[in-house]
Amino acid sequence: MFAKGTEISHAVVVKKLNEILQARGKKGTDRAAQIELLQLLVGVAKEHGLGVPLEVKIKFNIIASLYDYNPNLATYMKPELWQKCLSCIEELLDVLFANPHIFIGENVLEESENLSNPEQPYRVRGCILTLVERMDEEFTKIMQNTDPHSQEYVEHLKAEGRVCAIIGRLQRYLQARGSPEELCRVYLRRVLHTYYKFHYAALRKEQGLEVTFGLKRVKFGSLEPIESH
């Protein structure tokens, strides 16, 4: 990835990151190789102790590259790629909760990012809410394109627990530092995953009312009861 003898610094890693990102969307770009390079770049940043803000920036781009893997927005992500995306988002949330001093926002310009100067607040361009919304939308597409009577559908549905857990964690994160608009958007995601079924029998029991069912067996062709319970 780097020439032998290269001194690894923030500037060098950011330059390499930009080189990788410049190939995004271009014809002939190996998207799988691009994701692998970004993952290797995170490892380099960790190995040389370049700081969490730089790792966060690279992780944002890894998730974005996973979404770009299939350029056709009309189709859905491969379930295995989507599962990988879930893991990456979970890891990113872990880092953000552990480092609340890092400010992230889509309104942060790249030239105003601070990835290395500890004397000033760390600022990283990115929007975790947008990544989670896209993840949720891809989950819906996967379910819509799976036979609802198949075992595969049941297996995909099991992932909804992880989806809801991620949305819940994101809500807690944004409650401390998000805008009212962002909070409304994450609340809506939670509502869309909420199921409600009114249980009349449970209500009657709770109110102390006895529920009885009178069942009668009758002969075929006759209304005369032959047994009652």
- How far is the C-alpha of 80 from the C-alpha of 138, rounded, in Å? 12
What are the contacts of 38-43 at 24+ separation with CB within 8 A?
38/62, 38/65, 40/1, 41/1, 41/13, 41/16, 41/17
Query: How sure is the predictor about 229, in pLDDT bands with cuts at 50, 70 and 90?
Result: very low
Topology of domain 10-228 in CATH is 1.25.40
Tokens 């730089």, located at residue: 54
User: Mean pLDDT over residues 29-34, rounded?
Assistant: 84
- How far is the C-alpha of 47 from the C-alpha of 59, rounded, in Å? 15
Count of all residues that appear for the chain in the document: 229
User: For 177-193, how does the pLDDT look when each residue is reduced to its tens digit (9 = 90+)?
Assistant: 889 999 999 999 999 99
Tell me the two tokens of residue 193: 């995953």
- How far is the C-alpha of 195 from the C-alpha of 206, rounded, in Å? 21
Q: Does 228 have pLDDT greater than 50? A: no
Query: How sure is the predictor about 220, in pLDDT bands with cuts at 50, 70 and 90?
Result: very low
Q: Does 208 have pLDDT greater than 70? A: no
Q: Does 60 have pLDDT greater than 50? A: yes
User: Mean pLDDT over residues 2-14, rounded?
Assistant: 85
Query: How sure is the predictor about 153, in pLDDT bands with cuts at 50, 70 and 90?
Result: very high
User: For 165-179, how does the pLDDT look when each residue is reduced to its tens digit (9 = 90+)?
Assistant: 999 999 999 999 889
User: For 73-123, how does the pLDDT look when each residue is reduced to its tens digit (9 = 90+)?
Assistant: 557 888 899 999 999 999 999 999 999 999 999 899 888 999 999 999 999
Q: What DSSP string describes 42-105?
A: HHHHHHTT--HHHHHHHHHHHHHHHHHTS--TTS---HHHHHHHHHHHHHHHHHHHH-TT-EEE
